[in-house]
Structure 1
Amino acid sequence: MPDDNTKTSFKDRVRFFRNRAGLSRAVLGELCGRSAEWVKAIENGNIGMPGLSMLIRLAEILRVEDLAEFTGERRLTTATYSRHSHEQAPVIARTLSTYPLVTSGREPMSADALAANVSQAWLVWHGSATQRTALVPILPRLLEDARTAVQLLEGGERRRALVSLAQIYHLFQLYLSFQPYPELVLLCGDRAMQAAQDADSPQAIAAASWYLNHVWRDANEAAEGRIELAREASSLLRPDEEEEDRSLWGLLQLAISLSHAKTGRRGDAEHHWDEARGAAQSLTGHHPWLMFGTAMVDAYAVTIAADLTLGHEATRQGDRIDLHAVPSKTRTAFHLAEVARGFHLRREPVAIVHLLNRAYAVSPDTIAYNQFTRGVISELMVTGGSTVRDEARALAHKIRLVPTA
């Protein structure tokens, strides 16, 4: 190990163990499912210590048996890597694992009424600043109504109910995301895809592919599988004939772009982002619940640049997006946090804290569960200057990263 492991930085330790293993940056990046540029950014200190799952993967590849040899004097605290859990999450989790029997004497909700209720739930998700709390009274009954309808309705009515059921599972996935329920998040993605396929709906399959792509990217699953799913789903659509199909086709191009960015393939990422933006510009508005439109595509350009570790490009893209045109509090807050991630790459802590406070003002719920926010605020409470440390600690109390006094 380095001569004095308590005084060397994380970036130096990664370089030391990579050289000891005889691996190039390109090879290490490929083994981690990332790029040589990602490894370089870590070794140059442009990005900090990754999440726990990636840290473990690095240790396995580089044959580091004790994570303390990686982390040095910086301890791995629960606050650094644990996922915040909503107080009603156990109720939502139980709902997913409950299968009430449906008797034939019960009158199912019509497919139209079910679809209207699902549309209302999407309005709640996008319109509330505390989305999870707002959805708790809605989701259990919505799932029960959909399951009953799917069991008792027939023909075209049943297929339409299945489309609504797939969307309900998307809402469950969003509620549970970034909480300590990874197996349930994957379950929701899988059930949504099954419902979409049973409905024989290309549009529902496309939406389910978008949400499964999110699950797999967060889990660092192989990019090839994510990209292939998005390509296959997009081939079922008719973007030249139907505006909804064009919207969903563009959404899947965006999914492919994000997968390429995650693995450092800048040219492919930019190409598919261009395809997504072209589709968005041809629309008369934005998708009613997926929110796909020009503003959303422009905002994701920040994420793509940040995933490519291009800090200046991420903040440049952040300057040109119109977040007022994104009709969703949770998306607005998320994209503000992504711009903050760009400033993190540039090592500008004042801008980071300012943007995260702005995001919190828009949607406290989104920021409280955002893993970048929790990680960087934990870091800035220690490494920031006096003013930054105070502001970081204040935000940490708000998002319950540290207990309030």
Structure 2
Amino acid sequence: MLRQFLRPFLRDRFLHLLLLIGLIVSFFVPFAPARWPDAIDWHTIITLSGLMMLTKGVELSGYFDVLGRRMVKGFASERQLAMFMVFGAALLSTFLTNDVALFIVVPLTITLKKLCGIPVTRLIIFEALAVNAGSLLTPIGNPQNILLWGRSGISFAAFIWQMLPLAAVLVLSLLILCWFFFPARALHYQAREQQHQWKPRLVWTCLVLYLVFLASLELHVERWGLLVVAAGFLIVARNVLLNIDWSLLLVFVVMFIDVHLLIQLPALRENLPGVTQFSSGGLFLLGVGLSQFISNVPSTILLLNYVPPSMLLAWAVNIGGFGLLPGSLANLIALRMAGDRRIWWRFHLWSLPLLAWGMLVGWGLLTLLR
């Protein structure tokens, strides 16, 4: 049991890389480990922990197999199914946030591979890109929008209105790519999966715990909600807790600490105040570029110390979610859940061109809308 728990930590090369980066950077900034816990967004860590337990519970219940089998029967071709999943991921992310949307669609997508042989790696990449595109539409679609909306003082509808052109173009672009890169080949249902057994009791337990956890998040008592979820699985299905990729949580913890260390580098601390003098184009490029290396949420937090929560900043950091893997934490979640080593480099074959397209379209639309 201990070996099963430790195996992901020992094999996680990305975690090892983050630890190495943190070690190197710590030589160039004040060494104050006592401050590191304050750099971690514990709300995000707790939320991810609860969602990982709940989605793993549904996955091990076998219900995704049942749902996937019904979906396969409802679509005639790979193209139709792929476009449905990508659009569904984008839509869910607008009101469930990009991370939560991935916890729903990625396990379901992995199940589809067993039922119809659809190219899962490519589909998960498109879903990761879709939640980044869809979530930018609303103030509650992702963490950076929550921050920007709270600081801006504009209404919920006004925020959606300012983000609508960019979201529409990017989601439509992804659907067009789906049309060309997923064939119209007919889906063939694998009959040998028809007798699959699932566990209704575990599914209902997950549903009840999910509602409890959502309520705890709403009431800002998420720690108690997490304890209830963990206790529920200890009683009903302990194997759920053993099969979770706990190293993913450590990756996020180390990433927050790395960002905390990076922004203390003298070069950044001395030059960031000069951001207030940047032109619109310079600020746009900075928002996109900074997101590529420290992720768009920390970039938003950092830049809001120097510039107002404008439409330009909102578009820049959201476009910055595409491109390199660290651009958005949602990218990391999707690729880790895929469980395919090849997906890490394949992701960039799609995300980097989409970053370039997003920057071109975004700047063009901003120029037109001024």
Pick the structure with greater CA Rg: 1
Length-normalised TM-score, structure 1 = 0.29
Say which structure is richer in helix: 2
Length-normalised TM-score, structure 2 = 0.31
Which structure's relative contact order is higher, taking Cα pairs within 8 Å and 6+ residues apart?
2
